[in-house]
Amino acid sequence: MTLYFFRILSRLPLPVFYAIANVLYYLLAYVIGYRKEVILTNLKRSFPEKSDAEHRRIAKKFYRNFADVLVETVKLPGLSPSALKKRVQFTNKHIVLDKLAAGQPVLIMASHQCNWEWAPSASVVNGMPADAVYKKLNNELSEHLVRYIRARFGAKPVPMKSLLREMASRRHEPRLIALVADQIPDQPEYGYWTPFLHQETPFYPGTERLARTFKIPVFYIEMERTRRGHYSMTFHPIAEPPYDHLPNGELINRYRDLLEKTIQKAPSDWLWSHKRWKHQRSQYEKTQVKW
């Protein structure tokens, strides 16, 4: 019944969703103050050169964009393939299509920038089969809805704990393997720590480890908001095998640098409500990355 209601809801026109988003923005920013302290603290530490007034302006714009992402995620199953293709356009998909045509899977390092929920489905309707790697949710209903949304256009949702098995069993299947790589590692003590936005930050070393183990090329996908409900996506090569000449951590460092540039261009489009820096490196000085 819940899924049936969700399907009906997703068929509402986008202008209705954006009217809801306008109300949601006001509630998040001015009534609830959703994670206000987390957002402002993250902004102050990431942009120490900016004034408090600038931090508040970015935060308000973040709330507006975040409200849009929430309603757009609900709307996704109700979009037609042609509408999605029009709203998410790729500037250089040929460089990835060439890899897929050669029979190669490709590892995509994505981020919580703009509407990351639309990205895998947009890839599929643009001729690029995609696995959307995600952390499985504990709530059964939420898990069911998330899988329904992400699989709507043919993308394959892959729980992170199943990723290694999936990659081994489908190692010769050409597709995008998309990971949102700016999440907090489950075991920060074994994370790859590196400066990011003026702060020591742990990254999943597993992403780089997978690329090296399965000898597949890696791209960063940059998503930019061109106007409300419209996005542009650009692939940036990070590296491709052989990786023997690259030191451990180099792929993550290149991803970090590209992501920083994206965030600096449009800071309000990143997920500042995420508790990205809740761990401190000093807590884990005696541990090492499991390469």
**49 within 8 A of 64, measured Cβ to Cβ:** no
Which tens digit of pLDDT belongs to each residue from 140-174? 888 888 899 889 899 999 999 999 999 999 999 99
Per-residue pLDDT reduced to its tens digit, 232-241 = 999 999 999 9
Confidence tier at 120 by pLDDT (50, 70, 90): very high
Q: Please state, for a pLDDT cut of 90, what percent of the chain lies above it.
A: 85
User: CB burial class (10 A; 0-12, 13-18, 19+) of residue 97?
Assistant: middle
Q: Residue 100 phi/psi, 5° resolution?
A: -65, -40
Mean model confidence pLDDT for the chain? 95
Query: Average pLDDT of 47-75?
Result: 98
- pLDDT-based confidence at 139, cuts 50/70/90? confident
**Would you say 163 and 174 are in contact if contact means Cβ atoms under 8 Å apart?**
no
What does the pLDDT read at residue 243?
97
More confident residue, 137 or 117: 117
Q: What is the mean pLDDT of residues 125-147?
A: 90
- Per-residue pLDDT averaged across 282-290, rounded? 77
pLDDT: which is higher, 30 or 139:
30
pTM reported for the whole predicted model: 0.95
Q: What is the pLDDT of residue 171?
A: 93
pLDDT at 229: 97
Taken as a whole, the chain contains a residue count of 291
Res 3: pLDDT: 75
Measured between alpha carbons, how far is 182 from 204 in angstroms, rounded to an integer?
A: 8
Tell me the three state secondary structure of residue 241. Answer: coil
Give the pLDDT of residue 1: 57
- Kindly tell me the sign of the dihedral angle through the C-alpha atoms of 180, 181, 184, 185: positive
Query: Looking at the chain, which runs of residues are DSSP E strands?
Result: 88-90, 106-110, 130-134, 156-159, 176-180, 192-196, 199-203, 218-227, 230-239
Average pLDDT over residues 116-128: 97
Task: Please give the Cα distance from 105 to 46 (Å, whole number).
Answer: 34
Is the pLDDT assigned to residue 87 strictly greater than 80?
yes
Residue 290, pLDDT > 80, answer: no
Angle, helices 14-26/52-75, rounded to nearest 10 degrees: 140
Mean pLDDT confidence for 253-273 = 98
Q: What is the pLDDT of residue 17?
A: 97
